Structure 1
Amino acid sequence: MDEPSSHRSPEGGGAGRFLLAAAIVLMLVAVAGATTWWMYSREPADPTAGPAPAASASQCPDADLVVAAAPEIAPVVQAAARTFNDDPSDKCGPIEVVAEEPAVTASASVKYDVWIPSSSAWVALAGVRGASYKVESEPLARTPVVIAGPTSLTDQIAPGGKTSWAKITAGAAKGQIPAVTMADPQTSTIGMLSVYAVNKAMARTTPDAGIAQLRALTLRSRLTDATSDPAQLMARLATEWNNSSVVSSIGVFPTTEQQLKAYQAGNHTLKLDGATPVDGLVEADYPFAIAHNNRDADLTQRLRAAITKPALTRAGFRTTASPNAMPLTGEPQQLLASAALWSGYKSLTTQVLLLIDASGSMNQKITAPGGRSTTRAALLRESGGIAAELFAEDTSVGMWFFGQPTPSSPAHVEAVPFGPITGAVKDATRREALGAAMAGYRAADNSGTPLYQTVLDGVAEMRPKVRQGAVTLVVVLTDGVDGESTFKMSQPQFMQKLAEQQDPNRPVPVLAVGYGPDVDMKALNDMSAATGGKAFAATNPADLSSAIAKAFLAAHAPR
């Protein structure tokens, strides 16, 4: 540990959050950014009242022990610390308690004698950066993550007091829930635990990891706010309960049982209820983590004993584990990988043309995840149907199928005309039309693959649609190489034509998904690189869904 002076909060603020260098490489890095320090006043407070007003800096430079605690449990810890003061009216004593968000503590240079974060995962994450804390016994407290919202909504999503992440995702995708908001998983324990639970819940629905990720991303694509703090949301609902636009824009959101109880104890006009998701129950726990060179071991143990179970229960916490709570992964990088993918998704206005290979090779037999026998086309129908749910409400989309079953056939046919995802196509929405088109997708036997001509036509089709404030893309999925059609051309010819089409003022990136062992990945990489896009390989056809998920993430990455 640093010298005693290093236990003070540094003036000015410093490092802020964990990120991954890239979604594919699971590397943990700390990125410099603005830091907010949450502090409580030193005046006595009711532990059920929640966070006290913020203080500007440490006021107790002579403390023998410095403790960092998550803001919601800090009042309980602070009350226990004051029992060691000789003068109860003295704001300072032998123990100083700093209320600080765990993400700040985990990434900051300041180290503490004792750390009580809102999840044991933060201790492991801090260990990756070299901070050494040991946890010798069970957590002090626990509180499960619940889905909360106004009673009118929770009656809908949690009949009988039970809900699920799958139900929330389906309700959001179908517009049955006005809004879903969540906290940032890279800076918030509730966000981190919720994203972990969503991914685990979706993994239970299918043996295909790619499809599970697509289903998780469906919820992410429907969030009205992905960086909301649950405590701040509840504060808004308490004061703006009569503003229907505020209430509907918040909708339902994950929080902890402890935070929800604190709101309910306030007897606010707008009533909130909550339920734990049965398909992904996770809980915040509060470990008592001791620094390896803690300055006062005796005082540390006395403090732990002074934090009593009745005090924690009065503050709304549980002191035993929740039945059926899922254990968190033992690898902190895995936890952060899910958080980084989720946070890296950007809600962007998108215009996309989907080009789907309908050549004869799509009818080849494959072994799908779980061992079942199917065809490439059948697996695409399954994956594509789920992918149709991913597009946000401000997306405009169209879809072509390409293949040439006879010499007189065109290179491609329009399966869904381009337009707003919420717009009408005959008697259905465009999203419904996409789903129906994918469900009816069939590949013609012995059909050629006019890949290059279709990409050229697709880019030409989308270029006039480029507009400021929107990302315009062509997404192509193919399982083979350009050939066996009257539109066949060499790769040099294609690349020259593609280069002649380029307009730096109106870029149309191509995102290419190569599907199966016969695909020409060099051609896909070259066309994507030439247009500022990316290519993704699913050499094993069973990996198709994962490749589609990567392409979807790339489409929503900031540019």
Structure 2
Amino acid sequence: MSDNEWPRQLPAPAHGEWSDPPPVRSRVLLSAALVVVVLLVAGGVAWQLMSNGTAQPVTQATAAPVPSASRPTVAACPEPELTVAVAPEIEPVIRAAADGLKPAGQRCAPIVVRAEEPGVTLESKDRPDVWVPSSSSWLTIAAQRRLVYKPSGATLAWSPIVLTAPESMVGLYSSDGKPAWTALLQAVTEGRIPVVTMPDPLKTTTGLLSVHGVHAAAALTTKDPGIAQLRALTLRSRLEEADADPVSILKLLGTQNSPTDASYAVGVFPMVEQQLLAYQKAGHEVALAGAPPVDGMVQADYPYAVRKGVKTGLVEQLRSAISRPALEQAGFRTEPTAGSARLPESAAGLLAPVKQWVQYQKLSFQVLLLIDASGSMNEKIGAGAATKASLLRESGASAADLFNQDTTIGMWYFGAASATSPAHTEEVPFGPITSPVGERPRRDLLAEKIGTYRPITSAGTPLYQSVLDGIETMRQDAAPDKPSVVVVLTDGADGGTRFTMSNQEFLRKIAAGRDPKRPIPVIAVGYGPDANMTALQSMAKATGGQAIAARNPADLASAMAKAFLAARSTP
């Protein structure tokens, strides 16, 4: 039997078989023995009797090598009967169970286990027979792609996502040992936490669940889903790294010599509780602490899922070999944790906030905000007391926090109340958001101006002239090597002022001033049912930007979020 073959039982001998061989066989065996002796002598092997009477081989240095043709060959392993892809943190438990099913003395294992993040498995062409991702959500996403994996038996384990940091930092985003996403966001925007990192939500469960945890926490702070969306993106805008590898983070932390070094290496980051427990058990120099956030707790779960059409007894054998004590010993929970945020049941619902999160690019961003200050912005919305202007004040205040530290920004209001009024006024001068304007930080001034925004009742809408001036200003003042955009928010159409022009004239002026080497896209948000979306769409097309409709004024915050995402995706 060769080493790579499955054990096979030899047939039992019949009565008399293999005993009393005929004389011819004895002669053959004797001849073979003589050949062996000759070979031993030719090879230079002499036997020396030692003083204790035992025989020891002594090999001469001139011994002739055994011809390669005489060496035994080892055949390659056959294809495994079962391939299993598992989340990295649970891989040791699954591998130990699989190794326990390996036949005694067998070199080749019938089960192959590979550790990889669920998003990697999802994109791989090598589809495993069994999949143990770190969240059932991945099975939903896979089903959307017609990759059917059905759970076999109960969920193996659970592990909540914990907000983790060096022990000295935990108090900055927690109260009484209870961390919160919103407390983390506040600490980051106030500059009390230097670094926050998160994994890629399209690849890792920690990233996927954390995005939903952040959105669940933001939803508790406001009734407006658009503002909640802006607040969630604010944390995204402050991340030092948005696609960190959880395993690499832990390895990096294991090499740090002080909490200060760790704070600036990875800062605060989410991870699976089991990973934190394993790190703590290893006794590294930098001590970590963490707990599930109270305002958006989410938990990983580990289903044992089988690909459609896979039929082998090893599927159930492996499933049975994964024991609760082994999982608990590894740091997993064998019962779900109460109070976890509910995740969307559809793949679209799971991926929508995640894709928006991923699309948000952290880059050196240059933007000029043009906000309509004409009289129509004072109109009431519905039967309540809210006006377009009041909704803008609330949404704009959240938007002011959305810009990360490398943003360069300025803001104008446009609206002409009289025949001699200018088309627009500068409210926040163009410059780095971290630099002061007088004695005020530019970000604070931006938030204050938006918070006190009051449209002029009798003002018309010099939309086209303001956009033309804005493009020209950005071309002159903005750095040529960084992306620059004009974001305009208006509820109406150009008109009612001495600057009024037709759409055709406006587009001719846009074309005449175009510089292919310095594109300045316009991201236009049409606010309310009266916004001239046809004109805004032609404006966006002519400049390489986008037009976004917010027909319902209550959707303004969502539209602003889309505008910022569109601006950041513009080349």
TM surpasses 0.5: yes
Deviations 1:326-361 (A, max 9, x none): 232110122122222111111111111111111100
- Deviation of 1:244 (Å): 4.3
Matches within 5 A, 1:134-283: 134-242=150-258, 244=260, 247-283=263-299
Matches within 5 A, 1:81-100: 81-87=98-104, 90=106, 92-100=108-116
CA distance in 2, matches of 1:100, 1:248: 27
Query: Are residue 429 (structure 1) and residue 446 (structure 2) matched?
Result: no
Query: Are residue 65 (structure 1) and residue 66 (structure 2) matched?
Result: no
CA distance in 2, matches of 1:250, 1:238: 12
Deviations 1:113-137 (A, max 9, x none): 3211111111122222222221143
Deviations 1:56-106 (A, max 9, x none): xxx85343332222221111111112222232x755333332223222222
Matches within 5 A, 1:536-551: 536-551=548-563
DSSP 3-state at the match of 1:115: strand
DSSP 3-state at the match of 1:382: helix
- After superposition, the Cα gap between the structure-2 partners of 1:494 and 1:86, relative to the gap in structure 1 and judged at 3 Å, is closer
C-alpha RMSD over aligned residues: 1.8
Aligned to 1:40: none
Greater shift in the superposed pair: 244-253 or 376-385: 244-253
8 Å CA contact retained: 2:262, 2:286 = no
Give the one of 381, 393, 418 matched to 1:366: 381
CA distance in 2, matches of 1:98, 1:179: 32
CA distance in 1, matches of 2:99, 2:283: 29
8 Å CA contact retained: 1:214, 1:390 = yes
Runs of 4+ deviating beyond 4 Å: 243-246
Query: Are residue 457 (structure 1) and residue 469 (structure 2) matched?
Result: yes
DSSP 3-state at the match of 2:179: coil
Give the one of 364, 389, 405 matched to 1:377: 389
CA distance in 2, matches of 1:291, 1:203: 36
Query: Match for 1:437: what amino acid?
Result: K
Structure of larger gyration radius: 2
TM-score (norm 2): 0.84
Give the one of 522, 528, 544 matched to 2:540: 528
8 Å CA contact retained: 2:503, 2:535 = yes
Matches within 5 A, 1:510-525: 510-525=522-537
DSSP 3-state at the match of 1:279: coil
8 Å CA contact retained: 1:106, 1:123 = no
8 Å CA contact retained: 1:346, 1:558 = no
Deviations 1:181-219 (A, max 9, x none): 000101111111111211222122222221111111101
8 Å CA contact retained: 1:466, 1:508 = no
Aligned to 2:127: 111
Give the one of 308, 330, 335 matched to 1:320: 335
Aligned to 1:31: none
Greater shift in the superposed pair: 301-310 or 542-551: 301-310
DSSP 3-state at the match of 1:474: strand
8 Å CA contact retained: 2:166, 2:262 = no
DSSP 3-state at the match of 1:476: strand
8 Å CA contact retained: 1:115, 1:288 = yes
- After superposition, the Cα gap between the structure-2 partners of 1:388 and 1:269, relative to the gap in structure 1 and judged at 3 Å, is same
TM-score (norm 1): 0.85
CA distance in 1, matches of 2:97, 2:442: 60
Query: Are residue 344 (structure 1) and residue 359 (structure 2) matched?
Result: yes
CA distance in 2, matches of 1:401, 1:70: 52
Query: Match for 1:80: what amino acid?
Result: A
Greater shift in the superposed pair: 209-218 or 468-477: 468-477
8 Å CA contact retained: 2:165, 2:263 = no
Greater shift in the superposed pair: 175-184 or 160-169: 160-169
Query: Match for 1:178: what amino acid?
Result: P
DSSP 3-state at the match of 1:366: coil
Query: Match for 2:205: what amino acid?
Result: T
8 Å CA contact retained: 2:259, 2:286 = no
Query: Are residue 477 (structure 1) and residue 489 (structure 2) matched?
Result: yes
DSSP 3-state at the match of 2:523: strand
Identity %: 49
CA distance in 1, matches of 2:467, 2:451: 23
- Deviation of 1:152 (Å): 0.9
8 Å CA contact retained: 1:466, 1:506 = no
8 Å CA contact retained: 1:510, 1:533 = yes
CA distance in 2, matches of 1:475, 1:228: 31
CA distance in 2, matches of 1:499, 1:315: 65
Give the one of 503, 506, 515 matched to 1:491: 503
DSSP 3-state at the match of 1:153: helix
- Deviation of 1:468 (Å): 4.2
CA distance in 1, matches of 2:512, 2:554: 36
Aligned to 1:557: 569
CA distance in 1, matches of 2:224, 2:371: 21
Greater shift in the superposed pair: 246-255 or 307-316: 246-255
8 Å CA contact retained: 2:172, 2:184 = no
Unaligned residue ranges in structure 2 (runs of 5+): 1-75
DSSP 3-state at the match of 1:457: helix
Query: Match for 2:555: what amino acid?
Result: D
8 Å CA contact retained: 2:416, 2:422 = yes
Greater shift in the superposed pair: 74-83 or 434-443: 74-83
Deviations 1:353-410 (A, max 9, x none): 111111100000004xxx8540000000000111011111111111111111122221
CA distance in 2, matches of 1:320, 1:372: 47
8 Å CA contact retained: 1:123, 1:133 = yes
8 Å CA contact retained: 2:368, 2:486 = yes
Query: Match for 1:216: what amino acid?
Result: A
Query: Are residue 305 (structure 1) and residue 320 (structure 2) matched?
Result: yes
Query: Match for 2:500: what amino acid?
Result: K
8 Å CA contact retained: 2:216, 2:341 = no
8 Å CA contact retained: 1:476, 1:513 = yes
DSSP 3-state at the match of 1:169: helix
Aligned to 2:18: none
CA distance in 2, matches of 1:270, 1:168: 21
- Deviation of 1:414 (Å): 1.0
CA distance in 1, matches of 2:275, 2:255: 16
DSSP 3-state at the match of 1:134: strand
CA distance in 2, matches of 1:62, 1:417: 67
8 Å CA contact retained: 1:60, 1:96 = no
8 Å CA contact retained: 2:388, 2:553 = yes
8 Å CA contact retained: 1:116, 1:286 = yes
- Deviation of 1:489 (Å): 1.6
User: How many correspondences in the alignment?
Assistant: 496
8 Å CA contact retained: 2:545, 2:570 = no
DSSP 3-state at the match of 2:198: coil
